[in-house]
Structure 1
Amino acid sequence: MNIKKLKFYHFRNYDKASFSFEKNAVHVLQGKNAQGKTNIVEGIYFLSLLRSFRTNKTVNMIRHGQSSFVIEAEVETKGRVEELKAAVSGTKKQLFRFNDPVARYSEFVGTVNAVLFCPDDMTLFSDSPAARRKFIDMELIKLSRSYTATLSHYQKLLKERNQALKQPCPDQTLIGIYTKQMIADQKIIIRQRAAFVKELMEKAQKLYPFFSGGEEKIDAIYETFAKEEDTETAMEKMYAKTLERDIQYKNTQLGIHKDDFLFLLNGMPVVQIASQGQKRSALLSLKLGLAQIIYEKDGQYPILLLDDVFSELDQDRRKKLIEMLPHEMQIFITSAEPIPKDWFDRPVKFYEIENGTVKEETHERTEE
C-alpha cells in the first residue's frame, strides 16, 4: 500500500500544499520542531482512521482563521488506485471516494491502512487498562470484520445491561438474557484477542533482539476474567456470583471490557523495570510485528508512520531500525535532527520542512 499523492487545504499550518510520494520508498521529513513535519504524518493517519493521534477535537486541525480543512489523496492498493477526500468543518465530516459521497464511515476507514509510532505511544505500558484494550481492539478491527461486528454487538448489550441494572427494581430475567448473549460474544472476543496477542508477541520477540542484542526478551500476558476453554455454563456461574454486586453498583463489574494486557521484559513488568530506550525498542518491535501480521493476512504492507522515532534511541539502535524496515513498505519518518544518507540502501526522499514550506531532495543509493 502506498500514498501516491497527498493534498492539504487549510490543514494545520498548511494553507495549500501538494505532495507526491514514491512507491515503497522512505520519506524523511526533517526540520526544527513546530514547523509542520508531524502534520503530514497526522494527515495520512487521519485518512486511515478519521481521527487524529494528537487531539480529540477535529477543529484543532483547521488552519487558524479558516472554518474547515480538506485532505485529498491517491492511494495505491493491490494494483488499483483509490481517490479519497475528507472535508471537515467543525465536527462534521464529509467523505468521498472517486468524488462520490460515502454514506458510512466503515466504507472509508481502512482504505488507507497505516501503522503509527509516536511519542505518546510510550504511555501504553503505564497507562490504564483501557488504553491497552484500545490498542489491541483498534488493530483487530482493521484485521477482522467478525471481530468488529462482535465487539460492537457486545458493547451494545453491555450498555443495555447497565441500563437494566440502573432501574429501581432491576428485572433479573431481562438481565439474564443480556448476560447470556454477552457471554456468547465474549467467547469469540477472548479467543480472537488471545490469538492476536500470541501472534503479535511471536513477531515482536523475533524483532526485539535487533535492538537489544539478543540479551532481553519481551512478552505479554492477556489478563481476562475467563479462560478460553471455559464453557458458557461456567461463565454464567461467574456472572451469578457478581449479580448482587452489579445491582448494588448499577454497573456490570465482570467482562472483557475490564481486560488488560501486561507487557513483560525478562519476565518483569515493562512499566516497572524498563528504561525509556527499552520501552521505545519494545514498542517499535510491537509496531513492526503488527505490520508483519497485516502483510501476512492482507498480502501487502501497511504504510508505516514513524513520528519522532529516534528520540532516546542511541546511534546503534537508530541504524538497526533503518536496516530492519521492509523494502516493500512505504515509510514516513519525522526527525528534528538530520539523518545520514548513507544509512539507507534503498530509495529515500528527504524533505526540509520550515514553517509549512517544503523543500524536497531525492537520494538514490549508488552501488560501489
Structure 2
Amino acid sequence: MNLLELRLHQFRSYHQAAFHFDPGTIHILEGANAQGKTNVIEAISYVSNLRSFRTRNVRDLIEHSASGFSIDAICESRGRRENLRIHHEDGKKKLFRYGNPVPSFSQFVGTLNAVLFSPDDMMFFTGAPALRRRFLDTELVKLSSAYTEALRSCQKLLKERNALLKRRQFDQLLLDTYTDGLIAQQQTVIQQRQRFVMHLNRKLKKLYPVFSKGEETLEIQYKTFADPEKDTVRQMRTIYEKNLDRDRRFGATGDGIHKDDLVFLLDGYPMPAVSSQGQKRSALLALKLALCAIIKEKTGQHPVFLLDDVFSELDPDRRQKLIDLLPEDMQVFITAAEPVQADFKGRQVCVHHIRKKSKGKDGQHEPQ
C-alpha cells in the first residue's frame, strides 16, 4: 500500500498544500520546529483512522478563522488507485471514495492502512487502560469486519443495559436480553483480542531483542474479565448474575470488555515499574514493527509507516537498527528537524524540505 498524493485545505497550518509521494520510498519530511511536519503525518494518519492522534477537538484541526477543512488522498492498493476525500464543515464529517459519498465509518477506515509512531506514544505504558484498548480497537477494526460489528454491538448494548440499570423499576426480561446479547458479542471481541495479542507476542519475540541486544524479553498479557482459554460464555453469565445487585446499585455495568487492558512485561516485570525511557522507546518501535508485519500477513500489503520525530531520541546504533528492519518495499514517512544520519542500504530516499509559506500559496514543501 502506498500514498501517492495528499492535498490539504485549511488543515492545521496549511491553507492549501499539495504533496506527491513515490511508492515504496522512504520520505523524510525535514524542517525546523513549528513548520508543519507533524501536521502532514497527522493528516495521513487521519485518512487512515478518521481521528487525530494529537487532539480530540476537531476545531484544533481547522485553520484559524476557517469553518472546516478537507483532506484529499490518492492511495495505491493492490495495484489499484483509490481516491479518498474527507470534508469537515460546521461539525459534520463527510467521506468520499472515488467521488461517491461513503455512508459509514467502517467502509472508509483502513482503506489507507497506516501505522504511526509518535512521541506521544511514550505515555502508552503508563497512561490509562483506555489508551491500550484504543490501540487494540484501532488496529483490529482495520483488519476485521467481524470485530468491527461485534465492538459496535457491544457499545450499543452496554449503553442500553446501563440505561436500564439506572431505572428504579425495570423489566428483568429486557435486562436478560441485553445481557445475553452483550455476552455473545463480547465473546467475539475477547477471542479476537486474545489472538491478536498472541500474534504480536510471536513477532515481539524476534523483534525486541534486536533493540535490546538480546539481553531482555518483552511480552504482552491480555487482561480481561473472563479467561479466554476457558468457556467465556459460561464465565460471563456467572459474573453478570453474581454482580447484578452491584450493577443496579451503581447504575452501570461493572464488568466487561470496556475494562480490558494490556500489561507489558519486561523480563517478566511490568514495564512502568522497571523500564527506562530508552527501553520504552525500543518496546514501542518493536511493537509498531510487529504490527506492520501482522498487517502484511493479513492483507498481503505493507501499511504506510509513519515515524514522527523518532530519531531525535535514538542513539546511532538503535537508529540504524530501525532502518535495517524496514522492509524494502514499504513506504515510510519520517519527520526530522535535522538531516538524518543513517545508512539506508541503497533504499530510495526522498527529502521534502518543509517550510511555512504565506497563506494562499499552493504547496508548502520543496522535495529534493
Question: How does the TM-score come out when normalised to structure 2?
Answer: 0.94
The answer to whether residue 78 in structure 2 is matched with residue 78 in structure 1 is yes
Deviation of 1:69 (Å): 1.9
Matches within 5 A, 1:58-137: 58-137=58-137
Could you tell me how far 1:17 is from its partner in structure 2? 1.5
Report what 1:366 is aligned to: none
1:277 paired to 2:284: no
Query: Counterpart of 1:331?
Result: 332
Superposed CA offset, 1:208-243 (max 9, x none): 111111111100111111112125334322211111
Quick check: 279-288 or 220-229, which moved more?
Answer: 220-229
Q: Describe the superposition over 1:259-312 as per-residue Cα deviations: whole angstroms up to 9, x where unpaired.
A: 111111110111111111110110111111011101001000010011111232
Amino acid at match of 2:209: P
**Secondary structure of the corresponding residue to residue 335 of structure 2:** strand
For 2:13 and 2:46, the matched residues in 1 are separated by 16
C-alpha RMSD over aligned residues: 1.5
CA contact (8 A) 2:106 2:148 kept: no
Moved runs in structure 1, 4+ residues, more than 4 A? none
> 2:24 touches 2:331 (CA, 8 Å); kept in 1?
yes
Matched with 1:306 is: 307
Equivalent position amino acid for 1:86 in 2: I
1:131-187 alpha-carbon deviations (Å, 9 max, x no partner): 111111111111111111111111111111111110012333322222222112222
**Counterpart for residue 163 of structure 1:** 163
The CA deviation at 1:344 is 4.3
Look up the SS of the partner of 2:109 in the other structure: coil
Deviation sequence 1:55-85 (CA, Å, 0-9, x none): 1122222222322222111111001001112
- The aligned counterpart of 2:348 is 347
Matches of 1:242 and 1:192, distance apart in 2: 25
Structure 1 alignment gaps of length 5 or more: 362-368
Bigger mean CA offset, 350-359 vs 23-32: 350-359
Using the alignment, how far apart are the partners of 1:311 and 1:230 within structure 2?
48
CA deviation map 1:9-55 (0-9, x unaligned): 22222222111111100001111111110111111111112211111
Counterpart in the other structure of 2:264: 263
| 2:158 counterpart letter in structure 1 | L
Q: Say if 1:294 and 1:301, in contact at 8 Å, map to a contact too.
A: yes
Identity %: 51
Q: Secondary structure at the match of 1:337?
A: coil
Aligned to 1:204: 204
- Looking at structure 2, the residues matched to 264 and 242 of structure 1 have their Cα atoms a distance apart, in angstroms, of 31
Which residue of 2 is the match for residue 287 of structure 1? Answer: 288
Alignment of 1:244-259 (within 5 A): 244-259=245-260
Asked if 1:140 corresponds to 2:147, the answer is no
Q: Is the Cα contact below 8 Å between 1:310 and 1:335 reproduced in 2?
A: yes
Greater alpha carbon shift after TM alignment, 350-359 vs 140-149? 350-359
Opposite residue 236 of structure 1, the aligned amino acid is R
Give per-residue Cα distances to partners, 1:79-130, cap 9 Å, x unaligned.
1001112222232122222222223232222211111111111111111111
SS of 1:127 mapped into structure 2 = coil
Q: Equivalent residue for 2:361? A: none
Q: Which residue is equivalent to 2:14?
A: 14
Alignment match, 2:55: 55
- Relative to structure 2, which stretch is displaced further, 250-259 or 335-344? 335-344
Please list every run of 5 or more consecutive structure 2 residues that lacks an aligned counterpart in the other structure: 358-363
Distance of 2:107 and 2:122 partners within structure 1 = 31
**Please, which moves more after superposition, 181-190 or 265-274?**
181-190
Cα distance, 1:198 vs. partner?
A: 0.6
Counterpart for residue 358 of structure 1: 365
The answer on whether the counterparts of 2:74 and 2:83 sit within 8 Å (CA) in structure 1 is yes
Seen in structure 2, the aligned counterparts of structure 1 residues 341 and 231 have a Cα distance that, compared at 3 Å, is closer
Structure 1 contact 115–287 (Cα < 8 Å) conserved: yes
SS in 2 for 1:208: helix
Corresponding pairs, count? 361
How far does the alpha carbon of each residue in 1:183-203 deviate from its partner, in whole angstroms, 9 at most, with x for none? Answer: 122222211111100101211
| Aligned 8 A contact 2:37 2:354 in 1 | yes
